[in-house]
């Protein structure tokens, strides 16, 4: 089975090696881009480019595979009003018949540079939003065309931005000049440009979170409302501990300056995309001011920061391609390391740095474990299918019954269980002498400027064996490459805990953003919104057997209007009786009764300590960095 | 021109070359594999719909295979959808087995629609079972596909098949298991029916995927036409039984559809035809063409409310016309041996496939009085023409980019559609262009000939379903057979170049002129009422929903210049809360006031005041007759069938 992967990868590598064209945009003659963001507030941005060309047939590509998005996510539908000119004369372009991201031109004799202008539509009703009245997320891949089939590390670009009046920006790009609303950046490679998101906004706060050895990290916050920038010092302090914890963990760094660019906007929504020397982080208005957000989502910045080592510096061989377009498809099989381990490390760093309280990790782990244990899709679909299929799982993971189909999120969450399992195995086998902290130093240690070093699955197994000999190949074969009816489980007991279900609340088991929503997944088998709408139903659960389905709305429970409390009391009450719970349910505009045959009470997952054992979770999640934040050499 | 075409061909070949390298799979037409599913040894599919009301369907297949490495494909390019829209994300719980033993499958690392297996020695048939999640949101062709009472069943969703075969030589026996008390409609021949189970006769894979199977609790089958052994049906499926209650005049209008179409095309290429129409607010509107049926999806009150017919009454006629234009006659590069890589559809010629079909669908709808009387067509034309004439994106983007880029344009949505243009443009601008061609033919021949003659050259005669392909040169040749004219230059101007104005001359040639008045256009009003929108495109330059959320702003208009944009909501107009009536009255009053329109606008939680500096009053498009000329539009839209 694995043969297919190797064959395809080999074919791609061959193409990459043999067929790349000579880049016409050199460091002395780069392409230029002016991103005019002055109309960002009404959802429009304009790009004005000059691109080096040579006479004759020429093809320009709009970036399709966007690094970090693991899919063909280039927002072609936001690109409009493309006008190409040579010496002021319009030049006809036409789109390729098969590759929608390729634009063909016939460049006249003697023309060596063309002007390219287009409009980028930043926002769609019901779509992902990229700008508000006060904030704009600027990803350079949206604002450029480039020569087809070149190596983006040898293709140069000089970028500028023009901001609305009174706005500021953040980016990892080196600045050559700033004058009023305009910022001109130094010439960089195309890879670096696309790797350097440039957020802008009216209400901005730049915080230096760490300096050492001439290197600096920043937290750059952009808010829709100025009061959302009033972050408590105690919260800022936890973010200041993040860099030393990460450097201590990985044993070095592969960035010089790092910007965590964070938008605080309900309109822009939640997102996190990793880059070598920055991250594009998007969170809710009150993300930095409401502790509930830090508890539930506090790994946002640690996760993306950790990717600078795991994902950007060390990268799966199939994910590293010479450019962003056909025929260089990303091969996403190894995302179980790239994202799976990173989910574990992002969480670990959030606990070690104090963004989240280390004491909360067992409850967090209980919520994570139970979610995967009770996911019906795991009976048919291995994690390797969700990583190999990531380009489509990422794009289309919404909709009904995500637990039957599984989702792109699974190789993150289940990845955390697997890497915690590996961590506890190393700790147990080495009698506490080694841990995953040693593995990551083999994997991504040392200090360097941004660069990419690729790896294979065999490399990873080799690194692990260096730290602690074990059948790591069998380990990944079992949990990634085969159908695993249970997620990695042994780490719980190994860490000194056992899983229990009872009716006590777990603060990580909740419907995000809804105080009246109910997670009844582990008892009845349904998650309900605050209005009683079934968001998902667990296959073969009592709710499933009663006939409940997504989008059905629970109107009344045993004759009482739906409320979280009424629901919970009905489930608890049914424990004492033989009679079923009566649900009045609305589907479309049809009402009907469903009879819920469940008598086992409320079940919420928790971890409990096993007396007399070592608490590995506490050892893992407590702060590790020494008082001196500077990395050792 | 020719440089352009040569260049296109060269680029295309180069690209395919790279694709071949990238995907280590057998490739082009020359190397199709022998089909293992034959007429005597077909693959089998049982579609179990019994949980449709809960958004789930199950498929149980047996597929002929050969021992060793073997690949199964899930259909990606769905005929009629013009894009790689196969709903992979709805496919789940895939299990493959042979003789009761599970077989491990692995997805291809590049082509997400391909599943690789190793077939054990001695095994020549595998069992394949998977679950189809019927109700995905957020996707263009497959929003909700089932309700408590209805299910839309497209076979491409329920099958895997042998990779790299010719789907006209690959055979399938399909069966359906219905929920209690449900009925179904489709164009497949039935072998036997037993209670809830229907077994169909063995057909080719192409025919199966070409035969959507709607089913439902509440249904109404109407025989709309029969002649000899040929028949056409209207099969209705509703969420509510009262939605079947259409007036007798409307049933008569739909009974007119078949004879009018046969008169227009001079024949037919189907034996039995089913218009399968779902009536449900929960299932998004859609229409997908097939040789002997159409998959039509409309709102609850589609056949009972006049505005619905004005706004969308060409749904069935459009899809029906596709049986000739699209299914029988098909662009040479849209026709592929199967539904998967490496056979992507080339969509350049959609300006005929969809563009002319938009015109014909409307012609049939007006000839049959489904969408209005013949005398209503000028008002309809004014609405269509003005929309395209006032679309800023046309200054940068030719129609050819929208047809070539159709696989992505169909999937687009979001802000400032008028800047980007949309897949709808080659339909509506196609209508203008083909009406222009119709009037040119009529004028040059002194009304002796018309586009009705072209359609007969293009798709006349009687046959069973089959595919005959065409090129752009073929179309220009057919037109020249009808009347000599520089058709090549005609398409070059309106399709292949940036056309700052849409085809315009047909308005004068047909005996009309375009005017803007402060009286609403009847069709634009129907769009507003069915789409819950407010349209001030030709005066202020903005479109909103009925709550004041801005949906689009016309570049260069007063609304644009004064700073209105996407993401804003108009809260108050001259001090009064926003409403369609309040807004329209305020715009109308600008012709007699000098103060502009004062707005309160909300954006992302901020409120601000904004004044529209606009004084032109309300403007709505209409066509008015030019005295002393022939009214060609009424001639075209009159009933033609005997």
Is B95's Cβ below 8 Å from some Cβ in A?
yes
Strands B214-216 and B576-577: unpaired
pLDDT of residue A397: 53
Q: Are A596 and A547 in contact (CB under 8 A)?
A: no
Give the pLDDT band of residue A614 (cuts 50, 70, 90): very high
Q: What angle do CA A189, A116, A100 make, to 5 degrees?
A: 85
Q: What are phi and psi of B363, to 5 degrees?
A: -55, -50
Q: How many CB pairs under 8 A join A and B?
A: 255
Nearest-angstrom CA–CA distance, A286 and B631: 65
Helix extents (H) in B557-631:
558-561, 580-589
Percent of chain A at pLDDT exceeding 90: 90
Give the closest of B11, B415, B605 to A224, CB-based: B605
Which residues face B542 on adjacent strands? Answer: B536, B553
Give the pLDDT band of residue A300 (cuts 50, 70, 90): very high
Nearest-angstrom CA–CA distance, B127 and B130: 10
**Measuring CA to CA, which residue among A92, A73, A88 is closest to residue A392?**
A73
Give the closest-approach CA distance of A325 to chain B in angstroms: 12
Nearest-angstrom CA–CA distance, A175 and A191: 17
Annotate A247-267 with DSSP letters as a single string: HHHHTEES-SEEEEEEEE-TT
**Measuring CA to CA, which residue among A564, A566, A574, A570 is closest to residue A600?**
A574
Give the pLDDT band of residue B104 (cuts 50, 70, 90): very high
Structure tokens, A567: 């629901």
Mean pLDDT for A610-624 is 96
What's the pTM?
A: 0.93
Give the closest-approach CA distance of B257 to chain A in angstroms: 33
Contact B604 A133 (CB under 8 A): yes
Segment among A119-128, B258-267, B456-465, B467-476 with least mean pLDDT: A119-128
Give the pLDDT band of residue B411 (cuts 50, 70, 90): confident
Give the closest of B89, B139, B407 to A100, CB-based: B407
Is B561's Cβ below 8 Å from some Cβ in A?
no
Residue B483 has pLDDT above 50, yes or no: yes
Q: How far, in Å, are A492, A505, A581, B394 from residue A541 at the CA level? A: 25, 21, 14, 55
Is B405's Cβ below 8 Å from some Cβ in A?
yes
Query: Which tens digit of pLDDT belongs to each residue from A198-207?
Result: 999 999 999 9
Residue A227: CB partners within 8 Å, gap ≥ 6?
A: A289
First to last CA, chain A: 43
Structure tokens, B7: 């260049």
Residue A399 has pLDDT above 80, yes or no: no
Give the pLDDT band of residue B414 (cuts 50, 70, 90): confident
Contact A405 B133 (CB under 8 A): yes
Segment among A196-210, A562-576, B136-150 with least mean pLDDT: B136-150
Give the closest of A99, A265, A388 to B109, CB-based: A388
Nearest-angstrom CA–CA distance, A77 and A80: 8
Nearest-angstrom CA–CA distance, B357 and B152: 24
Contact B566 A125 (CB under 8 A): yes
**Measuring CA to CA, which residue among B134, B121, B33 is closest to residue B69?**
B121
- The DSSP secondary-structure symbol of A617 reads H
- Taking only residues 336 to 355 of chain B, the set having a beta carbon closer than 8 angstroms to any beta carbon of chain A reads 344, 346-348
Query: Which tens digit of pLDDT belongs to each residue from A210-235?
Result: 999 899 999 999 999 999 999 999 99
Contact A388 B107 (CB under 8 A): yes
Nearest-angstrom CA–CA distance, A213 and B280: 66
How many Cβ atoms sit within 10 Å of the Cβ of residue B249? Answer: 8
Q: Please tell me the total number of residues recorded for chain B in this structure.
A: 642
pLDDT of residue B86: 92
pLDDT of residue B143: 72
- Taking only residues 593 to 622 of chain A, the set having a beta carbon closer than 8 angstroms to any beta carbon of chain B reads none
Is B52's Cβ below 8 Å from some Cβ in A?
no
Please state, rounded to an integer, the average pLDDT across all residues of chain A: 94
- Taking only residues 492 to 511 of chain A, the set having a beta carbon closer than 8 angstroms to any beta carbon of chain B reads none
Q: Are A549 and B53 in contact (CB under 8 A)?
A: yes
Contact A125 B603 (CB under 8 A): no
Give the closest-approach CA distance of B94 to chain A in angstroms: 6
- Taking only residues 128 to 147 of chain A, the set having a beta carbon closer than 8 angstroms to any beta carbon of chain B reads 129, 131-134
Half-sphere exposure of B144 (CA within 13 A, CB side): 21
Peptide bond into B342 cis (omega under 30): yes
pLDDT of residue B604: 87
Most B CBs within 10 Å, among A99, A375, A400, to test the B interface:
A400
Nearest-angstrom CA–CA distance, A156 and A186: 10
Give the pLDDT band of residue B301 (cuts 50, 70, 90): very high
How many Cβ atoms sit within 10 Å of the Cβ of residue B582? Answer: 17
CA B346 to chain centre: 16
Contact B405 A549 (CB under 8 A): no
Give the pLDDT band of residue A398 (cuts 50, 70, 90): low
Give the pLDDT band of residue B412 (cuts 50, 70, 90): confident
Query: Which tens digit of pLDDT belongs to each residue from A128-141?
Result: 789 999 999 999 99
Nearest-angstrom CA–CA distance, A257 and A171: 10
How many Cβ atoms sit within 10 Å of the Cβ of residue B120? Answer: 14
Residue A214: CB partners within 8 Å, gap ≥ 6?
A: A256
Nearest-angstrom CA–CA distance, B357 and B362: 8
Q: Residue A320 burial by CB count (10 A; 0-12/13-18/19+): exposed, middle or buried?
A: middle
pLDDT of residue A627: 56
Nearest-angstrom CA–CA distance, B458 and A34: 50
Mean pLDDT for A455-460 is 98
User: Which residues of chain B neighbour A550 with C-beta distances below 8 Å?
Assistant: 55, 135
Give the pLDDT band of residue A396 (cuts 50, 70, 90): low
Nearest-angstrom CA–CA distance, B127 and B629: 69
Give the closest-approach CA distance of A420 to chain B in angstroms: 27
Give the pLDDT band of residue A3 (cuts 50, 70, 90): very low
Specify the 3-state DSSP secondary structure of B173: strand
pLDDT of residue B393: 97
Mean pLDDT for A483-506 is 97
In terms of CA atoms, which chain B residue is nearest residue A13? B22
Residue A14 has pLDDT above 60, yes or no: no
pLDDT of residue A493: 98
Q: What are phi and psi of B158, to 5 degrees?
A: -115, 15
Residue B630 has pLDDT above 90, yes or no: yes
Give the closest-approach CA distance of B456 to chain A in angstroms: 30
Specify the 3-state DSSP secondary structure of B104: coil
- The DSSP secondary-structure symbol of B459 reads H
Q: Are A552 and A585 in contact (CB under 8 A)?
A: yes
Which residues face A215 on adjacent strands? Answer: A212
Helix extents (H) in A480-605:
490-494, 542-546, 564-573
Strands of A465-619, DSSP E: 497-502, 518-520, 526-528, 534-537, 553-557, 560-561, 581-587, 590-596, 604-609
Is B412's Cβ below 8 Å from some Cβ in A?
yes
Query: Which tens digit of pLDDT belongs to each residue from A316-367?
Result: 999 999 999 999 999 999 999 999 999 999 999 999 999 999 999 999 999 9
Residue B500 has pLDDT above 50, yes or no: yes
Query: Which tens digit of pLDDT belongs to each residue from A531-558?
Result: 999 999 999 999 999 999 998 999 999 9
Structure tokens, A86: 């040579």
Nearest-angstrom CA–CA distance, A81 and A97: 19
Annotate A176-226 with DSSP letters as a single string: EEEETTEEEEPPEEHHHHHT---EEESEEEEEEEEEETTEEEEEEEEESSG
Q: Are B365 and B371 in contact (CB under 8 A)?
A: yes
**Measuring CA to CA, which residue among B335, B325, B365 is closest to residue B455?**
B325
Segment among B20-34, B229-243, B359-373 with least mean pLDDT: B20-34
Residue with tokens 């969700």: A386
Residue B135 has pLDDT above 90, yes or no: no
Nearest-angstrom CA–CA distance, B326 and B313: 20
Q: Residue A459 burial by CB count (10 A; 0-12/13-18/19+): exposed, middle or buried?
A: middle
Residue A474 has pLDDT above 90, yes or no: yes
Residue A1 has pLDDT above 50, yes or no: no
Query: Which tens digit of pLDDT belongs to each residue from A56-108?
Result: 999 999 999 999 999 998 999 899 999 999 999 999 999 999 999 999 999 99
Contact A98 B56 (CB under 8 A): no
- Sign of the CA dihedral running B215, B221, B227, B229: positive
Give the pLDDT band of residue A38 (cuts 50, 70, 90): very high
Structure tokens, A424: 């506890």
Contact A225 B23 (CB under 8 A): no
Structure tokens, B288: 């997908």
Annotate B494-551 with DSSP letters as a single string: HTSS--SS-S-HHHHHTTEEEEEESSPPHHHHHHHHHHTEEEETTTT-EEEETTSBEE
Strands B230-238 and B272-279: parallel
Mean pLDDT for B176-181 is 97
How many Cβ atoms sit within 10 Å of the Cβ of residue B175? Answer: 17
Contact B136 A396 (CB under 8 A): yes
Give the pLDDT band of residue A7 (cuts 50, 70, 90): very low
Q: How far, in Å, are A161, A164, A174, A183 from residue A180 at the CA level? A: 11, 10, 17, 8
Structure tokens, A610: 């096993």
Query: Which tens digit of pLDDT belongs to each residue from B235-278?
Result: 999 999 999 999 999 999 999 999 999 999 999 999 999 999 99
User: Which residues of chain A neighbour B108 with C-beta distances below 8 Å?
Assistant: 4, 8, 388
Residue A23 has pLDDT above 50, yes or no: yes
């Amino acid at each position: 089975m694995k043969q297919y992967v190797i064959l395809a990868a080999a074919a791609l590598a061959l193409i990459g090696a043999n067929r790349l064209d000579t880049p016409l945009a050199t460091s002395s003659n780069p392409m230029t881009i002016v991103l005019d963001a002055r109309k960002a507030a009404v959802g429009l941005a304009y790009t004005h480019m000059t691109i080096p060309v040579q006479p004759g047939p020429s093809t320009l590509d709009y970036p399709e595979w966007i690094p970090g998005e693991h899919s063909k996510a280039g927002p072609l539908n936001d690109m409009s009003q493309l006008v190409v000119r040579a010496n002021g004369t319009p030049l006809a372009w036409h789109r390729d018949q098969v590759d929608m991201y390729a634009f063909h031109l016939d460049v006249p004799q003697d023309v060596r540079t063309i002007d390219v202008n287009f409009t980028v539509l930043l926002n769609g009703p019901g779509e992902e939003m990229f700008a508000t009245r006060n904030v704009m997320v600027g990803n350079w891949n949206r604002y450029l065309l480039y020569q087809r089939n070149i190596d983006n590390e040898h293709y140069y670009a000089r970028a500028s931005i023009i901001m609305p009046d009174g706005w500021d920006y953040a980016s990892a790009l080196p600045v050559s000049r700033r004058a009023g609303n305009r910022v001109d950046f130094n010439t960089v490679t195309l890879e670096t440009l696309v790797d350097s998101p440039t957020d802008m906004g009216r209400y901005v706060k730049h915080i230096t979170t760490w300096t050492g050895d001439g290197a600096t990290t920043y937290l750059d916050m952009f808010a829709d409302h100025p009061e959302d920038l009033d972050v408590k010092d105690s919260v800022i302090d936890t973010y200041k501990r993040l860099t030393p914890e990460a450097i201590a963990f990985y044993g070095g760094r592969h960035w010089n300056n790092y910007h965590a660019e964070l938008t605080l906007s309900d309109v822009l929504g939640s997102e996190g995309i990793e880059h070598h020397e920055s991250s594009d982080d998007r969170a809710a208005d009150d993300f930095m001011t409401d502790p509930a957000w830090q508890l539930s989502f506090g790994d946002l910045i640690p996760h993306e920061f950790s990717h600078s080592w795991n994902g950007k510096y060390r990268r799966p061989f199939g994910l590293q391609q010479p450019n962003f377009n056909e025929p260089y498809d990303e091969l996403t099989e190894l995302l179980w390391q790239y994202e799976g381990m990173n989910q574990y490390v992002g969480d670990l760093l959030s606990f070690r740095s104090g963004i989240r309280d280390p004491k909360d990790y067992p409850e967090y782990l209980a919520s994570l474990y139970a979610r995967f244990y009770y996911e019906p899709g795991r009976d048919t679909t291995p994690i390797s299918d969700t990583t190999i299929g990531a380009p489509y799982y990422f794009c289309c993971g919404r909709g009904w019954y995500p637990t039957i189909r599984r989702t792109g999120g699974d190789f993150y969450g289940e990845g955390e269980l697997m890497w915690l399992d590996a961590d506890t195995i190393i700790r147990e086998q080495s009698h506490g002498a080694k841990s995953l902290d040693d593995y990551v130093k083999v994997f991504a240690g040392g200090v360097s400027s941004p660069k990419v070093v690729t790896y294979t699955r065999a490399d990873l197994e080799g690194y692990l064996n260096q730290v602690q000999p074990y059948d790591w190949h069998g380990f990944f074969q079992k949990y990634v490459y085969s159908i695993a009816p249970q997620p990695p489980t042994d780490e719980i007991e190994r860490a000194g805990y056992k899983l229990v279900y009872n009716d006590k609340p777990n603060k990580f088991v909740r419907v995000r953003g809804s105080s009246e929503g109910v997670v009844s997944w582990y008892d009845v088998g349904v998650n309900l919104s605050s209005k009683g709408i079934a968001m998902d139903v667990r296959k073969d659960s009592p709710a499933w057997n009663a006939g409940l389905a997504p989008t059905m709305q629970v109107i009344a429970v045993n004759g009482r209007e739906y409320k979280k409390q009424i629901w919970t009391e009905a489930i608890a009450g049914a424990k004492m009786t033989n009679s079923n719970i009566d649900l009045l349910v609305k589907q479309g505009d049809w009402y009907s009764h469903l009879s819920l045959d469940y008598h086992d009470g409320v079940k919420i997952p928790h971890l409990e300590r096993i007396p007399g054992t070592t608490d590995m979770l506490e050892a893992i999640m407590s702060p590790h960095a020494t008082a001196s934040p500077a990395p050792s050499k | 021109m020719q440089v352009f075409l040569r260049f296109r061909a060269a680029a295309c070949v180069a690209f395919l070359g790279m694709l071949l390298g990238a995907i280590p799979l057998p490739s082009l037409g020359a190397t199709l594999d022998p089909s293992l599913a034959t007429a005597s040894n077909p693959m089998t599919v049982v579609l179990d719909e019994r949980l449709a009301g809960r958004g789930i369907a199950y498929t149980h297949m047996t597929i002929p295979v050969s021992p060793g490495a073997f690949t199964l494909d899930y259909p990606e390019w769905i005929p009629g959808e013009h894009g790689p829209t196969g709903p992979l994300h709805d496919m789940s719980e895939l299990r493959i087995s042979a003789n009761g033993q599970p077989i491990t499958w692995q997805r291809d690392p590049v082509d997400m629609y391909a599943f690789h297996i190793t077939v054990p020695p001695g095994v020549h048939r595998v069992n394949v079972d998977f679950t189809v999640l019927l109700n995905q949101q957020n996707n263009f062709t497959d929003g909700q596909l089932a309700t408590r009472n209805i299910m839309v069943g497209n076979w491409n969703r329920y099958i895997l098949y042998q990779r790299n075969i010719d789907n006209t030589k690959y055979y399938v026996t399909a069966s359906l298991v219905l929920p209690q008390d449900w009925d179904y409609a489709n164009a497949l021949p039935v072998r036997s029916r037993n209670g809830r189970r229907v077994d169909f006769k063995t057909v080719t894979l192409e025919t199966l995927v070409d035969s959507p199977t709607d089913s439902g609790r509440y249904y109404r089958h109407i025989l709309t036409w029969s002649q000899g052994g040929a028949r056409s049906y209207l099969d209705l499926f509703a969420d509510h039984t009262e939605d079947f209650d259409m007036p007798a005049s409307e049933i008569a209008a739909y009974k007119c559809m078949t004879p009018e179409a046969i008169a227009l095309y001079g024949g037919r290429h189907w034996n039995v035809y089913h218009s399968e129409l779902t009536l449900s607010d929960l299932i998004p509107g859609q229409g997908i063409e097939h040789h002997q049926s159409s998959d039509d999806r409309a709102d609850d009150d589609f056949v009972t409310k006049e505005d619905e017919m004005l706004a969308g009454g060409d749904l069935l006629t459009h899809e029906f016309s596709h049986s000739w234009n699209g299914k029988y006659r098909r662009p040479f590069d849209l026709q592929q041996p199967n539904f998967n890589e490496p056979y992507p559809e080339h969509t350049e010629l959609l300006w005929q496939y969809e563009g002319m079909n938009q015109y014909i669908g409307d012609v049939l709808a007006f000839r049959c009085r489904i969408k209005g009387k013949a005398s209503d067509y000028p008002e309809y034309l004014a609405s269509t023409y003005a929309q395209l004439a006032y679309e800023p994106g046309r200054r940068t983007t030719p129609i050819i980019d929208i047809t070539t880029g159709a696989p992505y344009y169909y999937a687009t949505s979001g802000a400032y559609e008028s800047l980007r243009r949309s897949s709808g443009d080659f339909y509506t601008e196609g209508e203008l262009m083909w009406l222009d061609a119709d009037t040119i033919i009529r004028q040059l021949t002194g009304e002796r000939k018309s586009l009705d003659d072209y359609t007969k050259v293009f798709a006349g005669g009687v046959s069973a379903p089959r595919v005959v392909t065409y090129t752009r040169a073929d179309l220009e040749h057919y037109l020249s057979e009808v009347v000599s004219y520089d058709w090549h230059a005609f398409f070059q101007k309106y399709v292949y170049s940036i056309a700052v104005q849409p085809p315009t001359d047909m308005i004068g040639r047909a005996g009309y002129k375009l005017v803007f008045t402060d009286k609403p256009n009847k069709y634009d009003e129907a769009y507003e009422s069915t789409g819950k929108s407010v349209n001030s495109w030709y005066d202020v330059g903005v479109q909103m929903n009925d709550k004041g959320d801005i949906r689009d702003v016309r570049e260069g208009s007063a609304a644009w210049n004064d700073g209105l944009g996407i993401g804003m909501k108009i809260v108050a107009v001259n001090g009064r809360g926003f409403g369609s009536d309040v807004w329209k009255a305020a715009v109308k009053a600008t012709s007699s006031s000098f103060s502009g329109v004062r707005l309160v606008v909300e954006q992302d939680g901020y409120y601000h005041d904004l004044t529209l500096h606009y004084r032109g009053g309300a403007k709505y498009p209409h066509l008015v007759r030019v005295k002393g000329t022939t009214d060609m539009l009424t001639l075209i839209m009159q009933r033609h069938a005997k």
